[in-house]
Amino acid sequence: MRSCPCGRRHTLLTEECVVAPDAEEQMKEYLTHKGWKNPLIVADDNTKKFAPRLTALFPAKLTAVDGHAHATEIWTSKVGETVAAERPDVLIACGSGSVHDITRYVAHERGLPFLSYPTAASVDGFVSGVAAMTWHGQKLTFPSSPPAASFANPAVFASAPARLTASGVGDVLGKYTSLFDWRVGQILTGEYLCEELVALESEAIGALVEAIGQRGAIGEEAYCEKVMNALQISGLAIQLSGNSRPASGAEHHMSHLWEMHRLNETNDGLHGEQVGVGLLAVARTYHKALADGLDYDKIAAIDPAKVMDRAALEPVFGSLTDGILRENLPDGTPASSSLTKIRLTADTDRALKEAEKSLPSAETIEALLRDAGAPTTCGEIGLDGSPAFLGQSLRYAPYVRDRLTLLKVLMAAERSAEA
Ligand SMILES: [Zn+2]
Ligand SMILES: [Zn+2]
C-alpha cells in the first residue's frame, strides 16, 4: 500500500519485476526465500522449450497441453486437473499472454501463488490482476491475482517471432488514446483521475518511443528488452490502478468489438496488432473532430435512451444485445449510462484542446507503428479494409463498455441527432 496525492491508496502485490539476463537465477532465489519447493511450470507447445532453463536450476514439474495456448474453459480445466494431481505449492507461467491468463486463473481458483516467466514481449498483462478469457465463446475478464513476482530474460523473449514484439508495441502505443480518453472522462464528467498513474503510463510510452528510435543502433535483443520494460511498467500501472482505465480506451474497444465477431466473421490479428490499428483510427477521428470543432449543442442533447435503443443494436449485436445493454445501462435505465454524467462548462473546449496536445498526430502514430513492424490497417489483420467497415467499427466499438471515451461521446451525439 502507498498513499498518493490523488487521495487513493494504490496496492502493488507483485514483489519483484525483473528483466535481466540472470532472471532464472533470481527466480530460484525468490523461490528459496519464499520456501516454495514444489513448483509446477505451465507452458504450451511453443514455450515448453524454455522450461529446461528453469529445471536446470531447481526441481519443478511441467504441464504443457498440446497445441497453442488459448485462454478458454477447456485449457483451464486441463491445467486444473494437473494441479489437483501434482499438488504444487506455486505455479510458474512460462509463455506469452494466454499461458499467463490460464495460469493466473487456475492459481486464483486453487488459492495458489504464481510466478511470471514471459517468453515474448507481446502484451502488457503479465503483471496485471485480471484474466482475459474466452469462456464458452464469449470474451470475458475475470478478477484474478497478479503474479507474486515476474522474471523475464531478454535472451528468451527476444527469440520470440518479431510479430509478437511488434504486437507488444501496439499495446503500449494504444495508451496514447487510453490516457487521452481518461482525461476526457475527467473533463466531461468529473471522473477520478490519478496524475501519478498517468505519469507512469506516459513513462512507459516514452521509453518505448525512444526504443523504436534506437532500434537499428542498439540491436534486436536490447530493443526487445526496452519493449518488455515498457510493457511491465504499463502492467504495474494497471495493477496500481485496480482497473484498466489507464490502459484501455476506445482503441481497446475496437479490438474487443472485432474479437466479438459481430461486424466481421473472423480476424487473425494479435491483441496488440488490433489495438494498434484501433489506435490509429481513433487518433485520426479525435484530431479531425477537434480540428472541425465539437458540436456542443449536439453533445448537450445526447439522449442515452436513443443511443441504447435495443431495436438499433440488435441487428449488429444479435444474441449479445442483452449483455451490451446490461453493460451500458448498469441499473437497466438510461439514467445509469455514463453519458448522463456529462457536464459542459465554459472551460470544456479549452480543456479538451489542452488535453489534445498529449495525443500525437495520426502521421506520427502511423510512423511509429510502421517502424516497429506493426500493422496499421484493418486489411493487414484479416479484416475488411474498406472505409465503410472502419466507419461501422468506430460507430459500434463504444458499446463494448460503459466507459466514457471521446469516441462514445461523438457517436452518441450523432446518434441522438438522427431522425
Ligand atoms: Zn494516485
Ligand atoms: Zn491491451
**H-helix or E-strand spanning residue 44:** strand 39-44
Q: pLDDT tens digit string along 325-363?
A: 998 998 999 999 999 999 999 999 999 999 999 999 999
- How far away, in angstroms, is 61 Cα from ligand 2 center? 31
Alpha-carbon Rg for the chain in angstroms: 22
Question: Is pLDDT above 60 for 33?
Answer: yes
285 CA from centroid of ligand 2 (Å): 20
241 CA to middle of ligand 1, Å? Answer: 8
Structural domains of the chain sorted by starting position, each given as residue range(s) with its CATH number in brackets: 2-160 (3.40.50.1970), 165-417 (1.20.1090.10)
Least confident of 11-20, 71-80, 286-295, 362-371: 71-80
Mean pLDDT over all residues of the chain? 94
**Residue in the structure block whose three cell numbers are 495520426:** 362
Provide the grid cell at 205: 510510452
pLDDT above 80 for 23: yes
Length of the chain: 419
Looking at all shown ligands, the one closest to residue 9's CA atom is 1
How far is ligand 1, taken at its centre, from the CA of residue 185, in Å? 16
Angle at 189 between CA 317 and CA 340, to 5 degrees: 50
> pTM for the complete prediction?
0.93
Q: How far is CA 270 from CA 123, 256, 275, 400, in A?
A: 10, 11, 9, 18
Cα Dmax for the chain: 69
pLDDT of residue 333: 92
Instruction: Tell me how far the alpha carbon of residue 4 lies from the centroid of ligand 1, in angstroms.
Output: 5
Distance CA 310, CA 315 (A): 9
From CA 210, how far away is CA 226, in angstroms rounded? 9
Kindly tell me if the per-residue pLDDT of 2 is higher than 70.
no
Give the separation between CA 259 and CA 38, rounded to whole angstroms: 37
Q: Which residue has the higher pLDDT, 100 or 74?
A: 100
Q: How far is the CA of 198 from the centre of ligand 1 (A)?
A: 9
The answer on pLDDT for 419 being more than 80 is no
Residue 1 has pLDDT above 60, yes or no: no
Residue scoring higher pLDDT (242 or 48): 48
Instruction: Please tell me the number of the ligand nearest to residue 172's CA.
Output: 2
Predicted pLDDT at 128: 87
Query: How many angstroms separate the alpha carbon of residue 253 from the centre of ligand 2?
Result: 10
H-state helical runs in 146-194 = 154-157, 162-173, 175-189
Burial class (CB in 10 A: 0-12, 13-18, 19+), 216: exposed
pLDDT of residue 132: 79
| Reduced 3-state DSSP string for 313-357 | HHHHHHHHHHHHHHHHCCCCCHHHCHHHHCCCCCCHHHHHHHHHC
